[in-house]
Amino acid sequence: MHHFQYRDGRLYAEEVSVTALAEEYGTPLYLYSAATFRRHFKAFDSAFDGIEHLTCFSVKANSNLAVLRLLGEMGAGMDIVSGGELYRALKAGVPAGRIVYSGVGKRPSEIREALEAGILMFNVESVAELHKINEVAGSMGKTAKISFRINPDVDPQTHPYISTGMKKNKFGLDIDHSLEAYELAAGMEHIDPVGMDCHIGSQLTSLDPFLEALDKLLVFYGRLKDMGLNITYLDLGGGLGIPYDSEEPPHPSEFGQALRKRLEGVPLKLILEPGRVVAGNSGVLITEVVYTKSNPSKNFLIVDAGMNDLIRPSLYGSYHKIEEVEHHGRSASLYDVVGPICESGDFLARDRELPEVQAGERLAVYSAGAYGFVMSSNYNSRPRACELLVDGDKVTVARKRETYEDLVENEC
Ligand code: LLP
């Protein structure tokens, strides 16, 4: 459930008319609903009530400071993958003790920044990285708390680009060789192995792969205990899917219930790293139709949002629901909704049935709150869109629209 609803055929973001916002702030425009963010975070986090846990929002899904602040104030921790994300999380007021750091290519400078801040733990993805963390921590006279990201070789049954927990993927350590890595870590002076971690993929629409991975990790946990290691944390990553179209992913409460069953009596603190399930349906992208055009085989709606604004359809062939911001009750036709970028792959939808929209009218592209603005670029020298956070009848500019000057600011 989200708080983008129609009243008398006009779209509202919470209490605010989307047409009014588009007129004031222009398009393309990212709109986030604070009430939806709160609702989704709470639904997810409370699903694990009764299990000691920390929900670390995956910053990569939506890293706007206003969003991070809102979630941080609700008690969220953060899952980061770069020094930049660490900077954002701290700037948004999230305590370092609630931050976990994943990613295959952490640079020494980033490791240092995270140690200086005092993050909860590093999710280490290779033995080479372990050596580097030990070295950096040693040079600072510190001890780094780590978990290994274990690759459980589970097929998450999702798009290959966002599947991460199989042997062929670059992520984590192969489960069959992870024990040796823990042995090595346990002997290092500046490393404290405190956890186990995995993240098998994104937009999962079934619980089975999560449970298969969890079962493998629990067996592995037994082996670590036998080794005399004192493991405190179990980080299961993110990945729970959302409905973009007709998908029916499990509700977080079902996820929580299934984990509760498996983890009963297991003395581990659970960490979760949801991104999409919290942010995805908390945001929409508003775009204006610039021109309409038809040829013998296609009707096109040429809109002012391109693949530089929302790349998911071009990159993954992803479906995003599209609807008029104001319903006019016209009959429907099949359209390709395309952007202004000079690439045939620049589209938001193909062969989509939509009412006959006219130039100057606006469309709402749904489920754009996760991996939307964060993946945008300046390709074709297009200034990036404005982001607004709506909370009831209050509107905050979460990020100003970029200007032409911004485009060249760092060029010499
Ligand atoms: N934890 C780790 C270590 C991750 O790599 C990710 C996502 C998450 C948590 C959050 O996963 P989520 O709950 O959002 O599924 N750009 C793609 C998604 C890439 C996901 C990358 N990792 C998309 O637009 O679908």
What is the model's pLDDT at position 159? Answer: 77
Same fold, 4-32+280-408 and 35-278: no
Nearest alpha carbon, ligand 1 atom 9: 238
Distance 137 CA to ligand 1 centre (A): 28
Cα 235 to averaged position of ligand 1 atoms, centre (Å): 14
Domain boundaries 35-278, corresponding CATH code: 3.20.20.10
What is the 232 CA–ligand 1 centroid distance (Å)? 24
The dihedral of CA 146, 147, 151, 155: what is its sign? negative
* Strands (E) located in 267-355: 269-272, 283-294, 299-303, 322-324, 332-338, 347-355
CA angle, residues 25, 28, 30, in degrees to nearest 5: 80
Q: Please spell the DSSP secondary structure of 250-291, one letter per residue.
A: PPHHHHHHHHHHHHTT---EEEE--SHHHHGGGEEEEEEEEE
Apex 100 CA angle, 95 and 106, nearest 5: 120
Residue 239 in contact with ligand 1 by CB distance below 6 A = yes
157: Cα within 13 Å, side-chain hemisphere: 11
Q: CA-CA distances (angstroms) from residue 267 to 224, 231, 270?
A: 13, 9, 9
- Ligand 1 pocket, mutate which of 202, 210, 376 (most atoms under 8 A from CB): 202
Cis peptide before 28 (omega within 30 of 0): yes
- Ligand 1 near 313 CB (within 6 A): no
* Domain ranges across the chain: 4-32+280-408, 35-278
Query: What pLDDT, in 10s, does the model give residues 132-171?
Result: 999 999 999 999 999 999 998 888 777 777 677 677 777 8
Residue 170: the pLDDT is: 78
CA-81 nearest atom, ligand 1: 3
165 lines ligand 1 (CB under 6 A): no
Contact 251, 286 (CB under 8 A): no
pLDDT, tens only, 62-89: 999 999 999 999 999 999 999 999 999 9
How many CB atoms within 10 Å of residue 49? 10
The DSSP call for residue 190 is T
Distance 224 CA to ligand 1 centre (A): 28
Ligand 1 atom nearest 61 alpha carbon = 14
Nearest to 309 by CA among 341, 342, 335, 336: 341
Please give the pLDDT value at position 165: 65
How far does the centroid of ligand 1 lie from the alpha carbon of residue 45, in Å?
A: 18
| Average pLDDT in the chain | 96
Q: Which residue has the tokens 């042997």?
A: 167
357 alpha carbon, distance to own chain's centre = 32
Q: Which CATH class is domain 4-32+280-408?
A: mainly beta
Q: Output the CA–CA distances (angstroms, integers) from residue 338 to 285, 300, 344, in the order listed.
A: 14, 7, 9
With H, G, I as helix, E, B as strand and everything else as coil, classify residue 319.
Answer: coil
Q: What is the DSSP letter of 48?
A: T
* Residue-level pLDDT at 309: 98
pLDDT score for 369: 98
Regions in the chain scoring below 50 on pLDDT: none
Is 0.95 surpassed by the pTM of this model? yes
Which one of 56, 198, 342, 386 is the catalytic residue? 342
For residue 202, give every residue at least 6 positions away whose Cβ sits within 8 Å of its Cβ, in sequence order, or none.
Answer: 156, 158, 162, 164, 238, 239, 241, 275, 276
Half-sphere exposure of 147 (CA within 13 A, CB side): 32
Q: Is 342 a catalytic site residue? A: yes
